[in-house]
Amino acid sequence: MGNMGKFWFTPVLFMMPDSGSVYPKSYQLPMRHLPTRFSFIGGTFALLLLAAGCASNQTAQSEADMLIASGFQVRTPNSTQQTKLQSLTAGQISQIQTRRLTLYVYPDWPNHRVLIGGPVQYQAYQQYRQSHNLPAENPPQVYHGPSSIDWAKWYSGGG
């Protein structure tokens, strides 16, 4: 009764045949290694994909974010103002010429806002795009909406 509570493990060593497999030679496939040039090409391709992914993340910045970074002001129109501004094309910069001002307006309707800048901010935006190697934007369309909007109240600043 003294040894009944103990377990004894005996190490078992399995010997493999010299061929490295228990299967007969007729079932074995020879191991082939890819030449080094294939692994180099695969590695290079993976690096190119990684670089392209990083580059696309940098250019994924939205138009609105680029305009804000260039100094455009964010305005939230009330429902009456938004009705008057509906002739502005969403996602397109419009040039508005008043007696005293030349303004550039970008309606961001999905976010219920309008971005407004003057010539200084618009030039900064163009330089921003050029410095980030982005394609040239479409020229601003000329706004032909109601003249009853007092743009000077919406825009306050430099340029």
- Residue 9, in any domain of the structure: no
| pLDDT per position as a tens digit, 21-39 | 565 666 556 666 556 655 5
Residue 34 lies in a domain: no
Provide the pLDDT for residue 120: 95
The DSSP annotation for 25-54 comes to: GGGPPPP----HHHHHHHHHHHHHHHHHHH
Q: Are 126 and 104 in contact (CB under 8 A)?
A: no
Does residue 126 contact residue 138 with C-beta atoms inside 8 Å?
Answer: no
Q: 125 lies in a domain?
A: yes
Mean pLDDT over the full length of the chain: 74
Side-chain half-sphere CA neighbours of 11 within 13 A: 2
pLDDT in tens, 86-116: 888 888 999 988 777 889 999 998 888 999 9
Full residue range of the structural domain in which residue 116 is found: 63-154
Q: Is the pTM of this model over 0.85?
A: no
In this structure, is residue 39 part of a structural domain? no
Q: Which two tokens stand for residue 25?
A: 């030679």
Looking at the structure of the chain, the number of domains it has is: 1
Rounded distance between C-alpha atoms, residue 87 and residue 107, angstroms = 10
